[in-house]
Amino acid sequence: MEILNGFETSSVQRAVYLLKSGELVAFPTETVYGLGADAFNPYAVAKIFETKGRPRFDPLIVHIDTKEWLDKIAVEIPDKAKKLIEKFWPGPMTLILKKSNIIPDIVTSGLPTVGIRMPSHPVAKNLIKELRRPIAAPSANPFGYVSPTKAIHVANMLKNKIKLILDGGDSVYGIESTIISFQKEHVFINRHGAISLEEIQEVVGEVKDKKEITGTYESPGMMPYHYSPEKPLKIVNSPEEIDKKNSAFLAFKTPLKPVLSKYVRVLSEKGDLKEAASNFFSHLIELDQRDVEIIYAERVPEKGLGRAIMERLKKASKKYNVITH
Ligand code: TXA
Ligand code: MG
């Protein structure tokens, strides 16, 4: 497996060659690293599912570099989707739209809709441009595990399962895109992510939380056990609740008193939610590698990007039923 500097032309050329040959390439985006395949090559897309150990019923996001692609792969785009596109693309927002028939069924797991995103990371943009086709890509982690925000995370997680990782530095948002879907004139958030609910409401008015409305996750990828470290994870309201020394603590802000845990990582010294989100996965991966029994994670306020953090923490904690909400 090679790791090449994604900002160099020769690296992108190598990646394009591999993608055209039906291979997978991991590449940086502003949210997390993606594991990409040529979206129009069903055999290549099938490799994504094998490599990640991902169930075939969990659809992929298609990454594009221009609006021309949007008009080719989506149909009946709602006005509110257009408004959101004007405001947030390129950037960390995925829209679930009715698909046209040029998207192979394996990409969408047979659904009549397709998830589409126009990333802003220069390496991702350049890769799609040079390939001249959209790239289907999930986050570049084994199914159910924490998403990678650095090239080295991908290298450790996927070992020699892929030929090439393009290194584009640390993902600036550090948390996945916000996923939005539409039904008639209504707008839903399917997954909280790097753009907050409040920012979306500013553009389209009322937005509903898909899970709160339907009581269920729209797609299998929204299953409760996502984003989980290998170690059990427990959410705590404050460091005082920590009762095991052989533990790691993912603190939201700098703790005011000494903490019982052997290892402590602080998401944001001053408690800034944007900074906390950007450090979330990388700190969690680091603590998961420590020799501890359990990871405690401090609850963060459920507003702004705090919703995205809490959504992931709750899923991670549910895996072991240490705490349920
Ligand atoms: O930031 C991101 O979104 C990253 C980067 C690489 O773009 N990608 C990412 O992909 O997080 P993934 O596959 O890890 O998560 C995509 C989620 C899955 O939970 C999937 O179920 C959902 O999007 N999804 C994709 N297509 C869908 C569709 N047509 N309908 C409903 N949900 C869909
Ligand atoms: Mg993922």
Residues with CB under 6 A from ligand 1: 29, 31-32, 34, 58-61, 92, 94, 96, 108, 111, 113-115, 117, 137-139, 176-177, 179, 190, 218-219, 221-222
Tell me, in angstroms, the distance from the centre of ligand 2 to residue 138's CA.
6
Token pair, residue 121, equals 């990371």
The 3-state secondary structure of the chain, one letter per residue: CEEEECCCHHHHHHHHHHHHCCCCEEECCCCCCEEEEECCCHHHHHHHHHHHCCCCCCCCEEECCCHHHHHHHEECCCHHHHHHHHHHCCCCEEEEEEECCCCCHHHHCCCCEEEEECCCCHHHHHHHHHHCCCEEECECCCCCECCCCCHHHHHHHHHHHCCEEEECCCCCCCCCCEEEEEECCEEEEEECCCCCHHHHHHHHCCCEEHHHHHCCCCCHHHCCCCCECCCCEEEECCHHHCCCCCEEEEECCCCCCCCCCCEEEECCCCCCHHHHHHHHHHHHHHHHCCCCCEEEEECCCCCCCHHHHHHHHHHHHHCCCCCCC
Amino acid at 261: S
Q: Which residues surround ligand 2, an ion (CB under 5 A)?
A: 139
For the CA of 60, the nearest atom of ligand 1: 25
Tell me, in angstroms, the distance from the centre of ligand 2 to residue 323's CA.
22
Tell me, in angstroms, the distance from the centre of ligand 2 to residue 298's CA.
22
- Cβ burial of 258 (10 Å; 0-12, 13-18, 19+) is exposed
235 within 8 A of 284, measured Cβ to Cβ = no
Amino acid at 88: F
Amino acid at 282: S
| pLDDT value of position 210 | 80
Tell me, in angstroms, the distance from the centre of ligand 2 to residue 33's CA.
10
Close Cβ partners of 213 (under 8 Å, ≥ 6 residues apart): 188
Spatial separation of the C-alpha atoms in residues 35 and 49, rounded to whole Å: 10
Spatial separation of the C-alpha atoms in residues 64 and 132, rounded to whole Å: 9
CATH class of the structural domain 233-318? alpha beta
Token pair, residue 284, equals 């969690």
**Among 181, 51, 56, CA closest to 116:** 181
The fold for domain 2-209 equals: DHBP synthase (3.90.870)
| Per-block mean pLDDT, blocks of 10 residues, the chain (325 long) | 97 98 98 98 97 92 98 97 98 98 95 97 98 98 95 95 98 97 94 97 94 60 67 96 97 96 98 97 96 97 96 86 42
Question: Which ligand has the nearest atom to the CA of 224?
Answer: 1
CA angle 222, 64, 62 (to 5 degrees): 30
Which residue's CA lies nearest to atom 21 of ligand 1?
Answer: 221
Q: Give yes or no on whether 2-209 and 233-318 have one common fold.
A: no
| pLDDT value of position 318 | 82
**Among 284, 279, 258, 282, CA closest to 269:** 279
| pLDDT value of position 92 | 98
Left if phi > 0, otherwise alpha if psi is -120 to 50, otherwise beta: which for 184?
A: left
Beta bridge partners of 41: none
Tell me, in angstroms, the distance from the centre of ligand 1 to residue 115's CA.
7
Return the domain boundaries, the chain: 2-209, 233-318
Q: Whole-model pTM?
A: 0.93
115 within 8 A of 62, measured Cβ to Cβ = yes
Spatial separation of the C-alpha atoms in residues 62 and 58, rounded to whole Å: 13
222 within 8 A of 202, measured Cβ to Cβ = no
